[in-house]
A and B are shown apart, each in its own frame.
Chain A
Amino acid sequence: MAYLDLNHVVRRFGGLVAVNDITVGIEQGEIFGLIGPNGSGKTTLFNCINNYYPANSGEVVFKGIPITHKPTHEICQLGIGRTFQVVKPLRRMTVLENVMAGAFLRTDSVTKARDKAMEVLDFCELLHRKDMLAKDLPIADKKRMEIARSLAGEPELMLLDETAAGLNPKEIEAAMAIVKKIRDRGVTCFVVEHVMKFIMGISDRMMCINFGREIARGTPQEIASHLEVIKAYLGEEYAKGR
């Protein structure tokens, strides 16, 4: 039994099957990457883990506890943190207050929450922005703040959804460093991404899905040369060419 187990998870939207029988186990302490063309069901899968959309069938098990239909906030309390594909800053709060909102998961004291938030902001190298209103941040910092906010709740597993989207190369490098830092801190990372440089550069293991189904699994090198992956991204002809 792995740290996070997804067993035959299915999620439908009317006639469309967005997640079609996905089974995978994430091990503790690893960075696991999930890729797939647009619309392949990656974010939907995350939403199923978190229960923003309940899975239609299958189960999600975390540290041996079935979490399939638990309310989202309970899942978070159990130790799963999440960032969003489209960032969701708490706009009219400052960066510090945003992160404190995350820190309050583990404490009731304002002082302790503030201390925790400062520590996490420092870890994420965002301390210089702490008094800025979240809505005024540039996109890279908004994403970084979202990570910090989630981190302040002391998660054991983080779901990172398209962290590198919209970032320039320098920002991507910085984001990669942060994710590695987070893993070194002891947090398992399940990463969904489009930007190949980002995800290939940090993942220990990877999986590729298309149309909601798994099409390949392995190390980044194995994935990069996998026939089905190439076919999914670049089409039949390129796969044939290989």
Chain B
Amino acid sequence: MAKKNWFSLAILGLGGVAVVAIPPFLGGYFQHVLILIMMWITMATAWNLLGGYCGQVSFGHAVFFGLGAYGGGLLYLHWGISPWWGMITGPLLAVIIGIPIGLITFRLRGAYFALAMLALGETFRIVFTNWESVTAGAVGIITSRTWGAEKLPYYYIALAIAALSIYVAYRLIRSKYGYYFISIREDQDAAEGLGIPTTRYKLYALIPSAFFTGLAGAVFMNYIAYIEPHLVFNLSAISIMMILAVMMGGAGTLWGPVLGAAIYTILSEALRAAIGPISYLVFPVIACLIIMFLPDGIIGDWDKIRRVFSRKKPAYVGGE
């Protein structure tokens, strides 16, 4: 909640111009990575609303991603409707199912909420895998890409969605909602004592969180043109990595998830290119190290990081 200043606005402006103007000049692979970055930014920002700001750490956000993806996929599968409509139905499905999920799980606190969401994520994965008549099961759903091999349009859509998610987060955080979310995170009982209807506000955090995660899922559906339950309802690749991305950048900040998402995507692509399958090992190890040494992320633990690099010696306390 700091005052805006010249410098920040200039950086923001430059960044905005860069992400819009530069990509047409990049190769296909880089555009692909950028699309992934934008998707992960959306997901990380969304998760951060519920987890970082409101303190409800969900280990099962893949539920919303998967629902967002299948929102379009199912339309295509059963009625041949273009998955682009999924951009609306996907997030809506995520929210519609998210609300009863929240009403049930918000009774739980802390790690129990986290694990209940994990259980739900896995349950959805199993159900979507087995309910073949409705969801096509493990075979998945294949659609055709609207623009063939052309990546740029997908990029601008993903970019717009990422920007929208950041904007919505920004407006929410600066409003009464933001104050209430953080109050709930800091001390739920104190918050109740201040007249905050905590369950209702947790839902207010959940709705945009589910919506944007679902939207990212819908983008995924349209871009990759293939979804199956193990891919989109995945625990380690989606639910956990969302948390990792937010943690790396800094939970509970606006730009932390953006930074974390970018670093995560670039790092994972670079590692996969460089060392192949070992890269799957690297991320959990990085996660462990971050949790042990930089739990508040790059932005949150910025002071810690600065101290490591500063040359200042501690003042000498002479004598014994």
Contact = CB atoms under 8 A, between A and B. Distances in A.
Complex contact flag A–B (Cβ < 8 Å): yes
Contacts of A50: 193
Contact of A93 (B176, B186, B192, B193): B186
A90 B187 contact: yes
Given A90-B187, A91-B186, A76 B179 contact: no
Q: Which of B190, B197, B198 has the most CB of A within 10 A?
A: B190
Interface string A38-51: 00000000000010
Interface stretch (A96-104, A170-178, A222-230): A96-104
Interface string A77-119: 1000110100011111100010011101100111001000000
B296 to A, nearest CB: 10
Given A72-B193, A73-B196, A76-B192, A101 B187 contact: no
Interface in B44-86: none
Contacts of B174: 110
B186 A84 contact: no
B183 interface: yes
A150 interface: yes
Nearest to A104: B176
Nearest to A101: B183
A101 B194 contact: yes
Interface string B267-302: 000000000000000000000000000000000000
Nearest to B196: A73
Bin the interface of chain B by size. Answer: 20 to 34
Contacts of A101: 179-180, 182-183, 191, 194, 196
Interface in B164-183: 174-176, 179-180, 182-183
Given A90-B187, A110-B174, A153 B194 contact: yes
A73 B197 contact: yes
B186 to A, nearest CB: 4
Interface in B1-23: 1
A72 B192 contact: yes
A149 interface: yes
B176 A90 contact: no
Contacts of A150: 193-194
B180 A84 contact: no
From DSSP, what is the main secondary structure of chain B's interface residues? helix
A48 to B, nearest CB: 14
B179 A104 contact: yes
B193 A82 contact: yes
Contacts of B195: 73-74, 76-77, 102, 105, 153
A123 interface: no
A52 interface: yes
A92 B300 CA distance: 12
Contact of A52 (B189, B194, B252): B189
A50 B190 CA distance: 11
A186 interface: no
Contacts of A169: none
B133 to A, nearest CB: 43
A102 B186 contact: no
A100 B187 contact: no
A93 B190 contact: no
Given A104-B176, A104-B179, A104-B180, A90 B192 contact: no
Contacts of A58: none
A64 interface: no
Interface string B194-218: 1111100000000000000000000
Contacts of A90: 182-183, 186-187, 190-191
A166 interface: no
Contact of B182 (A73, A74, A93, A110): A93
A220 to B, nearest CB: 28
Contacts of B191: 90, 101
Nearest to B192: A72
A88 B176 contact: no
A79 to B, nearest CB: 10
A202 B7 CA distance: 53
Given A108-B176, A113-B176, A71 B189 contact: no
Contacts of B189: 52, 88
A97 B179 contact: yes
A120 to B, nearest CB: 13
A211 B189 CA distance: 26
B194 A110 contact: no
A92 to B, nearest CB: 6
Nearest to A75: B195
Contacts of A149: 194
B183 A110 contact: no
A150 B194 CA distance: 6
Interface of B: 1, 174-176, 179-180, 182-183, 186-187, 189-198, 252
7 contacts: A74-B197, A84-B193, A90-B183, A92-B182, A97-B1, A101-B194, A104-B176
Closest 7 pairs (CB-CB, A-B) = A76-B195, A88-B190, A90-B186, A105-B195, A72-B192, A101-B183, A73-B197
Given A89-B186, A149-B194, A153-B194, 9 more contacts: A73-B197, A73-B198, A77-B195, A89-B190, A93-B179, A102-B195, A104-B176, A104-B180, A150-B194
